[in-house]
Structure 1
Amino acid sequence: MTDLWDGALISGRVWHARRGAVSRDFRYEVTSLALPLAAFEEGALCLRPDTGRIWQVRQRDFGDGTGFRSFIAGLLDPLGLAHCDVVLVTTPRTSGYGFNPVSFWLARDEGGLRAVLAEVSNTFGERHLYLVHHPDCRPIDRSDRIAGQKLFHVSPFLPRNGHYVFRFDAGTGRFGAWVDWIGEDGSTKLQTAQSGPARALDAASLRRARWRHPLQSQRVMALIHWQALKLALRRVRFISKPEQLARKKSEATDKVPRDV
């Protein structure tokens, strides 16, 4: 079975479920890349940084734009996790256009998954980093749920308050990320997930994927705006974008009881 840290294509489904006075489910298919950073930056994969026309992964689209490994090492080193191997789970630019609602940087050592950086982007060109880990950086089990304050405006139909609850599954042959938004009243307002099976990343599988999905990023952006129109037609309150907070990186370290 395919290990994400060997490089993989993930044929996944993205799911959003809005809860409350206006409930709505939103699903779409997406093919993501799992890129082990050492092999990726050294040019050992069939896809290389800043190359390609139909599919492309550009360094300046991620982190601080200076380099994948140097960026994530700067976040992991204070946690004592600079020794971890890191894989970036993301969607590529397609035919020159790129938009990643969220990319996940998975840090693993021989003990297991130690931390996940969720790099979240909105349609206004802004970005926030949520670094998810246990306070003692012990391995993150697939059943663990870890919470952190919501500090970033994503949707014009959701306020910037409450907190997120994160859960991850980075097992062999699969990837899953679940992020729920909990409002200030303690109720679940939005559930999101991205999950699917992983298959080996090689020249043949990459070629098939990029020719099947040459406009994937464009399609995702169109679907986001289509869902926004549906919410507007149902008279869901529109929230003007606030100025982004100066704090653009935060940590999610609060354990959530499994029976909650």
Structure 2
Amino acid sequence: MMKKTIVTTMFFLSSMLLLSGCGGSTSTTSVVESIGNAAQKNAELDNARFETLYSMDSEAEPFDQSSEGAFVKKTESDYDWYQKTSFDETNTTETAQISGKQYQKISVPGQAETQWVEVSSTGFALQDLLRSLFENEIVEADIADSKVEDKEGGKEYTLTMNDAYAERIKAKNVEELQQNIDELKQDNEEAQVIEGIETLLQEIEETNYQGVTITYKINEEGFLTAVHSESTVVPPTGEVYTLVSSFSLTEYNLSDTGGLLPQVAE
């Protein structure tokens, strides 16, 4: 249960990060439609490699987390997937979801290599892990300004979000995190773990997000290949910092999928 708690907590922290020729203004209606269509089209992908990045540009406590991974489609909405996450270029956590079972392997510098360990219950569907690439949560009322640029191989949409958007996303994540806490209490999780997440919840409730911008890249085939967001964060302590997140597909629909997923012993 402890491992699931850690992964779940990181997911909610990550969710907060999703607060996307010549350039110029364009219709917000067409922008939302284009992004929504591209996100839906990603469901057609048979396989892909992906990368993610989360960073906090903070003098007090800088944070840098990057990952690389891959997925292979099994059925219409079911995937096997793998992700290797690095924290500040030191510790790494590998997660694989294969045939409905989830496995983890944690590596720490200076310690012996660990083996894959099955987690008691699965963490997230791929669509949650890469939510911004599979689901568009933007509506026209969220957008303060938008522009579109022709880029090599497709188009790039840059959106400036309004304050109401940041508040809506924060409220949604607060609600989901509270549900997570309730589930942990029902599962009789350790009090220390629950108290830690409750402290996190309070911090999120008291944190404000400003100047949110999101950039979306849609290639010529109509797939949403990248989402990059930046925002200015004002936490309860008042120590303002910049928060950055990005999700991208680096390759997709490969003819040979043999090296995409790790070999995990049953």
TM-score tier (shorter): 0.3 to 0.5
**Higher-helix-fraction structure:** 2
Where relative contact order (Cα < 8 A, 6+ residues apart) is larger, the structure is 2
Q: Which has the larger radius of gyration?
A: 2
TM-score w.r.t. length of structure 1:
0.40
Q: TM-score, normalised by structure 2?
A: 0.39
